[in-house]
Structure 1
Amino acid sequence: MAAPVAGSRIAPRRVPGLISLVVLVVIALVTLLGPWLAPYDPGAQNAALGAVGPGADHLLGTDNLGRDVFSRLLAGARTALIGPIFIAAGTTALGTTLGLLAGFRRGWLDAIMMRLTDLMFALPGLLILIVVVGIAGGSYVTAVVALIVLGAPVDIRVIRSLALSQRELAYVDAARTMGLSDRRIMFRHVLPNLAPTVTSNLLLSFVFALIALSGLSFLGIGLPAGTPDWGLMIQENRTILDLNPWAAVAPVLLITITAVAATILGDKVFERLSAGKELTA
C-alpha cells in the first residue's frame, strides 16, 4: 500500500481562512461582473407586478416597485463594496504612514499626532459622520472621505505602538551605523516587519467601512433613492417583509457574510504573516 503523501491534507485550522478567501473571491467576481450577470435590468419597474415572493421568473422575487431583487443584489454589490475598498485603502495608507512617522521620529510630530487622535477618539464618530455628510448634501464621495479621516486614528495608534518597539531593536541601530537615512530605515526595513498588522488592519477597515456605508444608505444618506445598493435595499424593502422578506433579508445576509469572511481572513492572514516574527505592541 502506498504511503500517504505528506501535506496532502489541509490542516483544520486553515479551513476557516480558506473558506473566507473563497467567499471573498466569489463576492469580488460578483462585484466586477454583477451588471452583466443580472437576468433583468436592476432599475426596470413593473408596478403591475408589485412585490411578490421567489418564483420561476424571479429567483428572489421582486420589491414593491416590481424590480427583480436578485438583479439588484448583483448590481448593488459594486455600489456596496467599491466604496469600502477605497476607504480601507485610504485609511490604511494614511494611518500606517502617520503612525510610522510618529512612532519612529517621535518629537513634535508624535505629540501632534497623539493629541489629534485623542481628539478624534473623544468625538462621537457616527454623529460627526452623519452631520458632515448631511451638510455636504448627502454626497457619496463625502461619506468616503469622511470615513477615511474617522478611521485613520485607530491605525495611527496601532502602527505607532509597533514602530516605537521596532525603533529600539538592534537592526535599526545597525542600519543607522551603516549610514542609512531614517526614511529608508522606516519604509525599507521597519514597515515590512509590520506587514501582518497592516494587512489585518486593511481587512478590518474594510469591514468597518462596509457596515458604516450600509448604515448611511439605510438612513437615506449618501446615495440617490433607487440606486442598487445593499444598504439602501434594506431601507426600501423593510415595509414589505410580509410580501417578500427576501427583498430585505438577502442584502442583510450578504453584508453579514462579507463582513464575517473579511474578519476571519484578516485574523488568519495576521497569524500566517506573523509566524516566526515577534511583534511587541
Structure 2
Amino acid sequence: MSRALGWVLLVVPLLVALGGPLVAGSVDPVGAPSAPPGAGHPLGTDVLGRDVLAVVLSGGLSVVGFTAAALGLAYGVGVPVGLVAAGQRRVVDEVLMRGLDLVLAFPSLLVLMVLAATGHRGAVVLVFTAAAVQVPAVVRVVRAAALAPGCRVAVEALYLQGQSWWRIHVGYVARSALGPVATDAGTRVALVLGLVASANFLGLGLPSGSVDWAVVIDRNSDALDAQPAVVLVPSALLVGLCVGANLVADSVLGRGRRTG
C-alpha cells in the first residue's frame, strides 16, 4: 500500500511539473489580485492577478530542474571522491574526509544566506551551492560502501590477481556501491528539494515575480484567507514530491533487504 501511495505522490507532481508548462498557457495577469474562482480562471488569481491554474502548471519545472541539477552535480563529484578516499592510503583518506567534514558542519541554508548577503544569488548559485553542501554526505555513503567488509575481501583478491586500480575500483567497487548510492539518492531528493524550496521562499534563488511553486507560496502567504488555492495547491505538490520520494526509496530498500 505504501509503495503504491509513494509512486502516486511522486509521479503526480512530476507530471504536473514536466507536462504542465505545455498546457498552462499565459501567466500574464488576467484579473484583479486574489480574485475568487471565476470565468477564465477556475482556481482564481494570485496577488499579481495571474491565473492560479496557469501559475501552478508552469511553476514546477524550476523546482524539479534545480533539484535534479543539484543532485546530478553532487553525485557526479561525490562518487569519484568517495572511491578515491576508499582506494588510497589512509593519510589521503583522512585529509579528504576531514576537509569534507568542515563543509558538513555548516548548515546548508546558512551557506545560501551568507552568499545572498554578499550579493551572490540566483539560479546558478542556488544549484551549485545546493550540490556542494551535499557532496560530503555523498562521499561518506560511497566510501562506506567501498570499505564494507565483503567489498574489501573481494578487492584484496583482485589485487592478488594483478588487476589494475582502474578495473578494481571503477569496474568492481563502483558497481558494489551502486545500490547504497541509489537508495541514498532517493532519500536525498527530499533534502535537496527542501533546500531549493526554502531558498526560493527567502528570495535567495529566483526573483519574486517567478511562477516557481516555492516563490508563489511565499508571495501569496498573506492572502491565504482570501485565496487559499494559490498556497495550498503548490504546497501539496511539494509535499507530495518529498513524501513520495521517501516512500519510494523506503520500498526499494525494503525490497532489496527481502531479496537479500
TM-score by length of 1: 0.85
Is 1:182 the counterpart of 2:196? The answer is no
Q: What is the CA-CA distance between 1:27 and the residue it aligns to?
A: 2.9
Q: What is the CA-CA distance between 1:263 and the residue it aligns to?
A: 0.9
Contact 2:67 2:193 in 1 (8 A): yes
Q: What is the CA-CA distance between 1:173 and the residue it aligns to?
A: 2.3
Q: What is the CA-CA distance between 1:82 and the residue it aligns to?
A: 0.3
Contact 2:108 2:195 in 1 (8 A): no
Is 1:45 the counterpart of 2:29? The answer is yes
Q: 1:27 to 1:253 in 2, by over 3 A?
A: closer
1:145 to 128, 144, 152: 128
Code of the residue aligned with 1:176 in structure 2: it is Y
Is 1:119 the counterpart of 2:108? The answer is no
Residues 133-142 or 214-223, more deviating? 133-142
Unaligned runs of 5+ in 2: none
1:79 aligned partner: 62
Deviation by residue 1:91-126 (Cα, 9 ceiling, x = unmatched): 122222212221232433211111112212322332
Q: 1:108 to 1:170 in 2, by over 3 A?
A: closer
Contact 1:138 1:221 in 2 (8 A): yes
Cα RMSD for the two superposed structures: 2.0
Is 1:157 the counterpart of 2:131? The answer is no
Residues 72-81 or 57-66, more deviating? 57-66
Is 1:35 the counterpart of 2:21? The answer is yes
Query: For 1:161 and 1:186, how far apart are their aligned partners in 2?
Result: 14
Query: For 1:110 and 1:101, how far apart are their aligned partners in 2?
Result: 8
Query: For 2:253 and 2:203, how far apart are their aligned partners in 1?
Result: 36
Any residues of structure 2 matched to 1:1-281 within 5 Å, and which?
Answer: 15-38=1-24, 40-42=25-27, 44-46=28-30, 48-55=31-38, 57-166=40-149, 169-273=152-256, 275-277=258-260
Code of the residue aligned with 1:20 in structure 2: it is G
Code of the residue aligned with 1:124 in structure 2: it is P
Query: For 1:146 and 1:214, how far apart are their aligned partners in 2?
Result: 13
TM-score by length of 2: 0.91
Q: 1:156 to 1:270 in 2, by over 3 A?
A: same
SS in 1 for 2:134: helix
Query: For 1:163 and 1:57, how far apart are their aligned partners in 2?
Result: 57
SS in 1 for 2:167: helix
Percent identical across equivalent pairs? 30
Query: For 1:214 and 1:147, how far apart are their aligned partners in 2?
Result: 11
Query: For 2:71 and 2:257, how far apart are their aligned partners in 1?
Result: 21
Deviation by residue 1:200-243 (Cα, 9 ceiling, x = unmatched): 22222221111111111111121122111011001110111121
Q: What is the CA-CA distance between 1:168 and the residue it aligns to?
A: 5.8
1:9 aligned partner: none
Unaligned runs of 5+ in 1: 1-14
Q: How many aligned positions are there?
A: 260
Max Rg structure: 1
Code of the residue aligned with 1:33 in structure 2: it is G
Query: For 2:252 and 2:95, how far apart are their aligned partners in 1?
Result: 32
Q: 1:22 to 1:106 in 2, by over 3 A?
A: farther
Residues 120-129 or 161-170, more deviating? 161-170
Query: For 1:191 and 1:72, how far apart are their aligned partners in 2?
Result: 42
